[in-house]
Structure 1
């Protein structure tokens, strides 16, 4: 009733007993639905019912604006059901016109990734997460089949883990790895390398793998290499985060930082006085306070663009 009163389109909602959810689009949807890149993320602790709040964000002149929101009951932990709900929500956005997505940024939530792959079949995703996994499955022979320079005998040893002084990665080498990782993230076929040459996506992948592998091999970082290959540099993972995997376009968004800032504004500027707010109050604040504020910002961006042009 509240959304209807404010002329917001309720795009997607639960109709059966079970996990409850509802999603709606904002005035920015029709403006930004031709975007080729979006950020998707969820936040918690915004309402008394414990619903997760998802947002879809597009960009205009590098600034992010929310195109749609989805509330999902988080009381029943079921990743399979959550994936199906997200798939349905993404499909409703696709049918409404958001059907030309090439870049999908999220924080390595595989419910979102799986759902997006089912809806935007040509999608190339970008992930932003540096959390180490609890376990790593690595096959040196499989890695060697991809690149012959990878030594089959270079793999993690359980004896090393059992040592009381075992260190996954020495502190003085961590920044080197991060620097290499950031370098590989930004390489792209449309950007020449230091020699002025334009490499293909495959050539960039091979060169990046070789550079990271050689660093780990030289410093005997067996566990680090196993983790990096299995979670980042193997082909099926590489295409999830490396900008070079899409040769014809460079994604403007680099991380989910805009979305994190969006949630910070919602909680700090609009909900600080409300503890465990009612669901309708959170929705009311979004559509009557947050979105109008963003519309003012958007109008300023438009005016600046007109002046420059």
Structure 2
């Protein structure tokens, strides 16, 4: 006090330094940071807050791990998905901080933390073994055995998880996947991952063995930093017939047919190719066995009769991937990631069928745009056997709740922005004290609210607000044609074939939401997400119609997905149409020759029907039947939208405060032939009922 009395002007830095010195009694147990942190965690273990995990010591490897006792106790046996990630620059010893978060109610809860450093070790697979020992301790201590493990593309984390939980589905974060592909496509380096076209052709017959990069391969370029062992195939194996293929069996050729002189095929003949490398089918002349030949039929229009020049184009100033193709490739990979047998509309509803569909789409796109280096990179890192299973959802019978590791990234943000911004690389013991005493109690309280509910709903996960916002938006969205066969929404299984449903974070779309009765507000507080059909479950989800005996399979889906690259396909729901489609619509409507008598009868009948239905609708108001209103809104949505557009066109035409509508403006093709009424006619129409009423009085 005497010092402060004589020195009244104290700076903020001096106060912080004094606070640091005085607070050391809370977390500092020794000058050695690791020893002090271990002693501090031992004290927390005695207090019942954490469990200090004993991990095997390895020369040159520094590792310190502990588990959160209360969170693991409450969630024991309930963890289906976990997220694992590491962060840097959090402590003075530059140890990597790993964290394992368990998913519960679409939210992440920390299960354990681990400090690791392998800089001084020369042992092979040093980081993989260190992470594996940490996972093994969690499994032994808390019985942790998840079905889904979400990580980034770090092969040490992937290898450790697959080694300990071989039956679990590993899922690479979608955000990290997209970023890795974008960064590689943006580079101009032509040398890429080693590519074996023979091995690729042995899996898929449509892959041409001559479509290979012309540059030398880079053996060190593998996503994740670890070179995988690819088994070379010296001989050309027989291609595997996928579930999307059609096998045609024909009787084998006889000896007499062999003696006939060969003829030059004409342009109208069908080219038959057995393995895409030779133009002759296999002949079997054994008299004791009736031979059969498996044929792959090619399109005679696209297959030339005379072999084309296979000389590659000049490679001067060639880039790895032109900029105009990068967005399409990433978008295709996202669709391949989202595909699953539970969601119809992609291909054969099986993991093998989806993989064949995805590989063929990507390969045909690269082949058509002359991108052999891109195909070699994509095959070696994402689409070949052993890599496809790491990121595709289709290989597991269930669909996980998480798509990314954002629950872990959000956890790092809380640590760094809420606590560590006061310190610059604090000591290990101080960081452990912050995690246990400041951060973990908040998760304990939130988990206690979820696991032990009371009468009030409080501190619910943040995803429920976004879920409600998306649900309300889909409720109000317009469905142009409710009977469109391009989509097959099934509210009982809660699946739809539209693109929005597949890409949605919550697996919702307007087609499904408008097929169920309006939900009460409590629905958004209690609804739960499932990993199989139906994906959302709550007593308030009541479909408006009975479940059909057989699901409606839209025949147009096969045509949409039959496009080579999957990018320039049909327009989805809510997408804009081009000018060419408007011209086609105009020509189609102008092509007919209408009889005047038929026109008068049809138009008069339509007007009389509208008048009758308008009076009938007003009569229904007194009964307050919302079920009938739901049917009116569903089946009359297209007509009401058309009437509203015509009304808006007439209002804008007769208004003096707005610009006159353009004839060819976007979205006005369907109202092009609507003749708006002048103001005098509108005034007379509005005054006619009043005049007739006065005459009756």
Asked if Structure 1 and Structure 2 have the same fold, meaning a TM-score greater than 0.5 normalized by the shorter chain, the answer is: yes
Q: How many corresponding residue pairs? A: 305
TM-score (norm: length of structure 1): 0.90
> Could you tell me which residue of structure 1 aligns to residue 156 of structure 2?
111
> Could you tell me which residue of structure 2 aligns to residue 70 of structure 1?
114
1:209 aligned residue (342, 350, 359): 359
Deviation at 1:56, TM superposition (A): 0.4
1:144 aligned residue (185, 201, 205): 201
CA distance in 1, matches of 2:160, 2:66: 18
Deviation at 1:222, TM superposition (A): 0.9
CA distance in 2, matches of 1:77, 1:138: 32
1:120 and 2:175 are equivalent in the alignment: no
CA distance in 2, matches of 1:243, 1:269: 34
Judge conservation of contact 2:59–2:121 (CA < 8 Å) in 1: no
Deviation at 1:46, TM superposition (A): 0.7
- CA deviations 1:248-287 (Å, max 9, x no partner) are x111111112211211211111101111201000000000
Judge conservation of contact 1:57–1:67 (CA < 8 Å) in 2: yes
More moved, 237-246 vs 123-132: 123-132
Deviation at 1:163, TM superposition (A): 5.4
Judge conservation of contact 1:40–1:104 (CA < 8 Å) in 2: yes
1:4 aligned residue (34, 37, 42): 42
> Could you tell me which residue of structure 2 aligns to residue 23 of structure 1?
65
Q: Where does the alignment leave 5 or more consecutive residues of structure 1 unmatched?
A: none
- Runs of 4 or more above 6 Å deviation: none
CA distance in 1, matches of 2:336, 2:73: 35
CA distance in 1, matches of 2:388, 2:143: 25
Partner SS state of residue 236, structure 1: coil
1:262 aligned residue (403, 411, 414): 411
Counterpart mapping for 1:189-200 below 5 A = 189-193=341-345, 199-200=349-350
Judge conservation of contact 2:85–2:99 (CA < 8 Å) in 1: yes
Partner SS state of residue 421, structure 2: coil
Counterpart mapping for 1:158-177 below 5 A = 158=215, 165-177=317-329
Judge conservation of contact 2:100–2:112 (CA < 8 Å) in 1: yes
CA distance in 2, matches of 1:14, 1:73: 14
Q: Does the C-alpha gap of structure 1 residues 173 and 292 become closer, same or farther in structure 2, counting only changes over 3 Å? A: same
1:308 and 2:352 are equivalent in the alignment: no
- CA deviations 1:38-74 (Å, max 9, x no partner) are 1111111111011111000111111111111111125
Deviation at 1:96, TM superposition (A): 2.3
- CA deviations 1:100-148 (Å, max 9, x no partner) are 3221111111111111121112122111334339740111111000000
> Could you tell me which residue of structure 2 aligns to residue 90 of structure 1?
135
> Could you tell me which residue of structure 2 aligns to residue 187 of structure 1?
339
Partner SS state of residue 141, structure 1: helix
CA distance in 2, matches of 1:33, 1:213: 44
> Could you tell me which residue of structure 1 aligns to residue 578 of structure 2?
none
1:287 and 2:436 are equivalent in the alignment: yes
Deviation at 1:99, TM superposition (A): 4.2
Judge conservation of contact 1:14–1:20 (CA < 8 Å) in 2: no
More moved, 4-13 vs 62-71: 4-13
2:84 aligned residue (15, 40, 43): 40
CA distance in 2, matches of 1:279, 1:74: 16
Q: Where does the alignment leave 5 or more consecutive residues of structure 2 unmatched?
A: 1-38, 186-190, 217-311, 461-521, 528-697
1:243 and 2:393 are equivalent in the alignment: yes
- What do you get for the CA RMSD once the two structures are aligned? 2.4
CA distance in 2, matches of 1:218, 1:115: 39
Q: Does the C-alpha gap of structure 1 residues 16 and 109 become closer, same or farther in structure 2, counting only changes over 3 Å? A: closer
2:421 aligned residue (259, 272, 275): 272
CA distance in 2, matches of 1:89, 1:185: 29
CA distance in 2, matches of 1:179, 1:233: 15
Partner SS state of residue 255, structure 1: coil
Judge conservation of contact 2:55–2:133 (CA < 8 Å) in 1: no
Q: Does the C-alpha gap of structure 1 residues 293 and 99 become closer, same or farther in structure 2, counting only changes over 3 Å? A: closer
CA distance in 2, matches of 1:32, 1:135: 44
CA distance in 1, matches of 2:443, 2:121: 33
TM-score (norm: length of structure 2): 0.42
> Could you tell me which residue of structure 2 aligns to residue 55 of structure 1?
99
Structure number, greater radius of gyration: 2
Judge conservation of contact 2:71–2:447 (CA < 8 Å) in 1: no
CA distance in 1, matches of 2:318, 2:120: 39
Higher strand proportion: 1
Judge conservation of contact 2:192–2:376 (CA < 8 Å) in 1: no
